[in-house]
Structure 1
Amino acid sequence: MSSKQILDEGKTADGLIEAARTHAADIASRRVAQYASIKLKNAPTAAAIESQIRLDATLLEHTLASLRRADEVLAAELGDDAAVFAARDRYAASVRSALVGFRDLVLTNCGDAAVAALGFVGETPRDPVALEALGASVLAGVEKSPPRSQRRGVRFDAKLALEGVTADVAALASANAAVRKEKREEQAARSRRDEAWNTFSRERVSAARSLDAQLRAVGLDDLADRLLPSIAASGEPATVPDPAPAPTG
């Protein structure tokens, strides 16, 4: 669900809470009068009935407050993502550019076999995680067995050609880790928000139906029709769908 939906549903719940508190005493006095009219023994007191109505309103108020807090936390978490993803993309672009240039140098000076030996297969990847893995593999390969030039009279220094790439690959690795952390935190915040929504939705249905029944039981049908949302007569409380997967890019 969206924050706007939570805002709209929250306004409905606020109205329900206010209605319960406003009419609790009247409902209680009318109900006690009904019990007295048939001389019902051990009937609850007006104070007990009013207290129960107010407690139900407070419970709904609490679940609504929890939902609003959870939605604010999720919104803040989503707001943090942009800078982390932007940094990851910058490092990925830098690493890819360096690897493409290095691959061309190796191909020109050392041939296809040297390119393949370093792990270059097909197009240089664009995915940041794949770029991190390729960059680490190329650096390790050059450190272990640097490719040699096949061109007569030409010296090719692979380590010199990769100067600065080590730092870029390390930065990309850190950025990828930061993205994974952000995604975990976002998913956790989304799960908490969804759980809070489901709890609120169930409680709102329960509170609306209860107040509707209490008003009608004491003859306040017209008031029930005016005050209560249509959810009082609905079937099951609304639940959130499974959240969409977080974007990878």
Structure 2
Amino acid sequence: MSRTRIRSTPVDAACAAAVDLAREAAEVIARPGEVGEHLGFDNEGDRVVTHYFECLDRAYQGWRWAITVARASRARNVTVSETVLLPGAGALLAPRWVPWNERLRPGDLGVGDLLPVEADDDRLVPGYTATDDDTDRQAVFEPGLGRARVLSPVGRDLAAHRWRAGEPGPDAPIAHAAPAQCSTCGFYWPLAGALGHAFGVCTNEYAPDDGRVVAVDHGCGAHSEATTVPSMVAEPAPPILDDMGYDLMDQS
């Protein structure tokens, strides 16, 4: 079995010597004083060489000006083929690009913003099949299924874990200092469905979680049975009778 020989391309002497030509090309695209010393060259192929120059721009530390020169077959003159700024070893690079749906965090959505949901989102499942029968539409809408997609078990579990691990959960500092749990509070309104066994909504306007979902074992100082508010009407004090002393009276 014969071995395949890979023929190495010899370095073109004219292209390798065209350092001044490459420097002039780099100075055309760079600002004054940003092209540094010659760092060497790479042989790219037949009569093609890339020269490298140090970049002195402080914003591009570790980058190099790469100027590719070439010479046509049987031609004497060397011409510039390409000019570009490339990162070298230890160059300052931009962070790795992250898709928008991985960069998004709770609270990023503002007024007028739209957050598209992917068609195969695991948190959602199809709700019901479209029908022209108004009776069927009403029947499926009443239990909350009159939507194209509804919450899936995966989405429900993710929400439950997120709520319990966050501020509405039992481990929040305000819950540890509470006199009792939300499950015994008169302002606690349980959610419907499977989540109702573990979560509800606070309806106390003076509570920090008013209008928000809270866990049954969450709590705060605004518990309905926390304290008894004293009456604002002052009751008169009973009369004080001194039956230990006596007064002498002149009856003459």
User: Which TM-score band (shorter chain)?
Assistant: under 0.3
Q: Which has the higher helix share?
A: 1
What is the TM-score when the length of structure 1 is the normalising length?
0.18
Q: Which has the higher strand share?
A: 2
Q: Which structure: larger Rg?
A: 2
Q: Report 1 or 2 for greater relative contact order, CA contacts < 8 Å, sequence distance ≥ 6.
A: 1
Structure 2 length normalisation: TM-score? 0.18
